[in-house]
Amino acid sequence: MSTFQNIKGTFDILPDPYTDDGDTRVAASAEWRFVEATVREVLERHNFDEIRTPVLEPTELVARGVGEATDIVQKEMFAFERSGTQYVLRPEVTAPVMRSFLQHHLDQRGGVQKLYYVGPCFRAEQPQKGRYRQFHQFGVEVIGTDDARADAETIASMMAIYEALGIPETRLRLNTLGTPERREEYVAALRDYLQTYEDELSDTSRRRLERNPLRVLDTKLEHEQNILQGAPQLIDFVGDDSLAHYDRVKGLLADLGVDYEEDPFLVRGLDYYTETTFELESAALGAQSALAGGGRYDRLAEVLGSDAPVPAVGFAAGMERLFLVLDAAGTERPRVPRPDVFIAALGEAAERWVFRTTQALRDAGLHVAHDLKGRSLKAQMKEANRQAAPYTLIIGDNELEAEAATVKEMASGEQTEVPFADLVEHLTAQVDAEGAA
């Protein structure tokens, strides 16, 4: 065992799945590739192009973009200074994508920019099931339009991913936050109302009441939820244009057959939102119930220094939480990639032949395994079994002399003599036939 362990709240993703000490199943790398490939396939079908931005960003971008008063900026940033520059490990990707859009004038590509991403994010949270310090998000940002169709298409693309992966029983909550100006009026009214109950509020809610009263709406405490029943409602403060936009989004979702529930208390933990917000939940997740979330953020570009407004909408989703839900649903997993052929060698001359032939078979497109340790034939056959190759070859002096190999099909036990000269062709045909079956 090494002196070192991975940092709490981060994971090694290994060739095989395993259970970490927090009792979480960590999916195998092949499962990650499968889920990522599905995400990409669905999003590309929805006409999104990939964007990759650095994991390191200027701290100020996140502070301004996500908002000084948010939990993320207040207590969850992995930020550090090096030679006078302030760096942060990105806690999310929306502000970085908008930075990149503005920096590279992506509007000049023409039309609406539909961008997607998949990659790691970092938040210094207290690790627990579904909440990690390094986690992975996939998401989209639709930049350059305030059309309600962009909101509805964003949500529909998100839903299509969960559908493609066969995730049952998610709950989509929807709300509108209106414009920041109207929201300010609402926050003032909410603060007045909550102040009359201040003595009954938890320490957390009292702190939020001071810094960011909207966040009190997120409370999970029942007695606070009861207090909120009588609180002023955001929807009563939202202007007519916002309501009309919200109605259009709801109508378009209905057209697409996307079910949703309106939740006037859905506020989300990032400050850049305007108008539509949404969150996708799964009951299978427990306390950290959000699979994905997002919304419109029409003012972020200006907060980041743009002269002109750049309306935009997007969502992001957590990969680890997606795996938790896939586990709970018992969704079928892709097999760990296994070799097509395992070639065992007996003796030094055979080892050299196997080494060369392995290369030739790989060049022909086959996935080939062999021994790299000079182990006994028995150990090599054990390894062939462990790797579950459907075909094995054993090469020794006799085979070299006869210039023919015995190809054993493991499932049936059937053996075929194949001249060396025909080996590539024979194995390729066998593997192709199996793939087609």
Positions that interact with ligand HAM (CB under 6 A): 92-94, 123, 125, 131-132, 135, 137, 139, 141, 269-270, 290-295, 297, 314-318, 320-321
- Give the nearer residue to ligand HAM in terms of CB position, either 275 or 399: 275
- The C-alpha atoms of residue 113 and residue 243 are separated, in whole angstroms, by 25
- Give the nearer residue to ligand HAM in terms of CB position, either 228 or 322: 322
- The C-alpha atoms of residue 357 and residue 390 are separated, in whole angstroms, by 18
Decide: residue 125, CB within 10 A, 0-12 exposed, 13-18 middle, 19+ buried: middle
- Give the nearer residue to ligand HAM in terms of CB position, either 237 or 272: 272
Least distance from ligand HAM to the Cβ atom of residue 290, Å: 4
Least distance from ligand HAM to the Cβ atom of residue 154, Å: 8
Residue 45 has φ and ψ, to the nearest 5°, of: -65, -30
- The C-alpha atoms of residue 164 and residue 388 are separated, in whole angstroms, by 29
**Are residues 16 and 28 in contact, defined by beta-carbon separation less than 8 angstroms?**
yes
- The C-alpha atoms of residue 6 and residue 159 are separated, in whole angstroms, by 33
Q: Which tokens go with 36? A: 């990522």
- Give the nearer residue to ligand HAM in terms of CB position, either 232 or 318: 318
- Give the nearer residue to ligand HAM in terms of CB position, either 304 or 316: 316
- Give the nearer residue to ligand HAM in terms of CB position, either 129 or 338: 129
**Are residues 392 and 418 in contact, defined by beta-carbon separation less than 8 angstroms?**
no
The vertex-282 CA angle with 277 and 286, nearest 5°, equals 115
Least distance from ligand HAM to the Cβ atom of residue 153, Å: 13
3-state secondary structure of 436: helix
**Are residues 396 and 346 in contact, defined by beta-carbon separation less than 8 angstroms?**
yes
Least distance from ligand HAM to the Cβ atom of residue 97, Å: 8
- Give the nearer residue to ligand HAM in terms of CB position, either 209 or 316: 316
Query: Of 138, 142, 60, 57, whose CA–CA distance to 107 is shortest?
Result: 142
| Residue 137 host element (H or E) | strand 134-143
- Give the nearer residue to ligand HAM in terms of CB position, either 100 or 137: 137
**Are residues 262 and 174 in contact, defined by beta-carbon separation less than 8 angstroms?**
yes
Least distance from ligand HAM to the Cβ atom of residue 135, Å: 3
Strand 261-262 and strand 18-19: the pairing is unpaired
Residue type for 382, please? K
Decide: residue 81, CB within 10 A, 0-12 exposed, 13-18 middle, 19+ buried: exposed
Least distance from ligand HAM to the Cβ atom of residue 328, Å: 15
Least distance from ligand HAM to the Cβ atom of residue 436, Å: 39
Least distance from ligand HAM to the Cβ atom of residue 96, Å: 9
CB-closest chain residue to ligand HAM: 318
- The C-alpha atoms of residue 252 and residue 240 are separated, in whole angstroms, by 18
Least distance from ligand HAM to the Cβ atom of residue 24, Å: 11
- Give the nearer residue to ligand HAM in terms of CB position, either 279 or 340: 279
Query: Of 26, 32, 23, 25, whose CA–CA distance to 12 is shortest?
Result: 26
- Give the nearer residue to ligand HAM in terms of CB position, either 131 or 171: 131
Least distance from ligand HAM to the Cβ atom of residue 378, Å: 45
Query: Of 137, 229, 232, whose CA–CA distance to 190 is shortest?
Result: 232
- What is residue 128's DSSP assignment? B
